Amino acid sequence: MPIRVQNDLPVKEILEHENIFVMDEYRATHQDIRPIRIGLLNLMPLKEDTELQILRSLSNTPLQVDVTFVHVSSHVSKNTSTSHINKFYVPFSEIKKQNFDGFIITGAPVEQMPFEDVDYWEELTEIMDWTKKNVTSTLHLCWGAQAGLYYHYGIDKVQMDHKLFGVFQHKVMNRKIPLVRGFDDVFMAPHSRHTDVPIEKIRADERLTILAESEDVGIFLAMAMDGRQIFVMGHPEYDRVTLDGEYKRDLSKGLPIEIPKNYYPDDNPDNKPLLTWRATANNLYTNWLNYYVYQATPYDMDGIPDFDWNKHVKND
């Protein structure tokens, strides 16, 4: 899939080196098609790493995707340069009157704080409320999923007695839903979090459908409103060395951290980590873009989304 980004976005060169088709602004304006508009609210501290991971994940369908990077105005990033933010990001206030086909809310390293204590919580609730009317489908990742479940459905997170850290096995719970079409019965996915959303509370809410879960780490994937809201509790977008970097960072700071589970061969951090979730991640993002964004969004983005799956797909 051609991803449309600004010509001088730093991660563009890395994506092209990986043989991912990145379309610059000039070429995109000369194609006679309407690109799919995706907004990315990037709440992660190392924004360029997340940009690369998300753009890589969005690169596996023939659709042209126009990505807009969004930042909150109520928080100043300490780990990404102001010049990068000013050049490649727009504040939510500049897009709030616009419509998007899809929107992604990332995780953030604030999971152990009460939601209301996060300095940009009020702005984030405004954004989540805005997505209900201005976005066809919103994808919430990790802490973003916890925040969405809390704001929309009143289900609060709980503190774990240990960090859920590593790559864990999950099972598909509802194969008839197109979001998990093509998934294996069991699959691997990374997690890195100190908090959890109790799966029994999600099961008890008839507005939510669980699509994948794990005996080790609980909920992985759920959705609501026929796919207008999707919640991913893990980090399928992570690349091979992300958990390795987190582990060695915490070790260097003297923080208590266990070796990520099911990650290093022989549990030896000197060994190259195994990449066991890329195919599943590609499948998840491709299904989201195809079934919940492209096929459901109105052409002019002013109509009503169409989530009648019987017209679009056949079950596995």
Q: How many residues does the chain have?
A: 316
> Looking at 48, 51, 142, 191, which residue is catalytic?
142
Strand partners, 223: 209, 230
Q: Which of 247, 294, 281 shows the shortest CA–CA distance to 54?
A: 281
Q: What is the 3-state secondary structure (H, E, C) of 61-96?
A: CCCCEEEEEEECCCCCCCCCCHHHHHHHEEEHHHCC
Q: Which of 141, 166, 144, 37 shows the shortest CA–CA distance to 99?
A: 37
Backbone φ and ψ for 292, nearest 5 degrees, come out as -105, -10
Q: How far apart are CA 256 and CA 131, in angstroms?
A: 38
Residue 197 contacts residue 155 (beta carbons within 8 Å): yes
Q: How far apart are CA 122 and CA 147, in angstroms?
A: 12
Q: How far apart are CA 163 and CA 230, in angstroms?
A: 24
Residue type, 284: L
Residue 102 contacts residue 295 (beta carbons within 8 Å): no
142 is catalytic: yes
237 is catalytic: yes
Q: Which of 243, 120, 146, 227 shows the shortest CA–CA distance to 189?
A: 243
Residue position matching structure tokens 């999971």 = 111
Strands, E assignment, 197-267: 208-214, 218-224, 229-232
Question: Which residue numbers are catalytic?
Answer: 142, 235, 237
